[in-house]
Structure 1
Amino acid sequence: MRKLIMLAGALALAACSQEPAEDTATAEAPVEEAAPAGAVANGSPAGVYEVTNADGSKMTANINADGTYSDVAADGTVAEEGTYAVVDGKTCFTPTTEGAKPMCFTESAPGDDGSFTATPDEGDPVTVRPATAATTE
């Protein structure tokens, strides 16, 4: 469940833009990339998403255009919140919730219904759907 919650943070949006850095970055240093305002690494917009973990458990990820996110458990409690950004082509979530750890996700291209797979650096992939698409099926 914690990994599922952290993904919602993976729907993290990159609402910040950055000037291109000079050639002083090393291959090991993460490079924060400009993304469309209010979008995660694959270009999906800010919004409410249903996240389904590999074990079938679900949660709601609220990805905000201001670069913040919150993950809401099935019982309606906020499980995690923080900020997100696009770093090295991945959506990375930095939680402010005590005990939660930062996590980055590689996302597939969105399908016709806006759904995509988000694969964390460690752990099982999750399926992410815009809440409107998830509730109309």
Structure 2
Amino acid sequence: MKKLIVAASFLAIAGCTQPNEQTDEAAAPAEAEMAAPTVSNGSPPGTYEATATDGSVMTTVINADGTYSDTAADGTLVAEGTWAVVDGKTCFTPTTEGREPMCFTVSAAADDGSFIATPDAGDPVTVRPAAAAAD
């Protein structure tokens, strides 16, 4: 069975200006207004449970700093690395040996925050915020 890697980036664009008092003052409101990073469907960073078509469940923690980790139901770390939104897909690049990068097309989130994540290759998974999955 192929292990799933679901997790999730924000792309920051830094200007190339020389720092000065006026630039620093102008930048402060923009930094305060920057939205938190989201996966490609707008879901925020957090802890999610991903259920594969075979019923296996994995917990994914998507961090606002662009990192993620996947843990199997028994608590074993499956993968960790970085995530980003690339060409409208949520993509994961593991630093874990033996794991390959994967990109997912994700559906719009339902009222309970759940969504379907379909990898470029393989079966789709149902993803739910961990709090909603526990209900």
Alpha-carbon contact 1:42-1:108 (below 8 Å) kept: yes
2:126 counterpart of 1:134: no
SS in structure 2 of the partner of residue 41 of structure 1: coil
Deviation at 1:86, TM superposition (A): 0.3
Identity within the alignment, % = 68
CA distance in 1, matches of 2:76, 2:100: 18
Note the residue ranges of structure 2 that are not aligned, 5 or more in a row.
15-34
Map 1:89-128 onto structure 2 (within 5 A): 89-128=88-127
Deviation at 1:97, TM superposition (A): 0.1
Per-residue CA shift, 1:74-119, capped at 9, x if unaligned?
1101110000000000000000000100000000000000000000
**Higher RCO (CA-CA < 8 Å; seq separation 6+):** 1
| Matching residue's letter, 1:2 | K
Partner of 2:30: none
Partner of 2:20: none
Note the residue ranges of structure 1 that are not aligned, 5 or more in a row.
20-35
> Which structure: larger Rg?
2
SS in structure 2 of the partner of residue 2 of structure 1: coil
Deviation at 1:3, TM superposition (A): 3.5
CA distance in 1, matches of 2:50, 2:126: 6
Partner of 1:42: 41
Map 1:26-37 onto structure 2 (within 5 A): 36-37=35-36
After TM superposition, the runs of 4+ consecutive aligned structure 1 residues lying more than 3 A away are none
2:15 counterpart of 1:16: no
CA distance in 1, matches of 2:98, 2:123: 20
Cα RMSD for the two superposed structures:
1.5
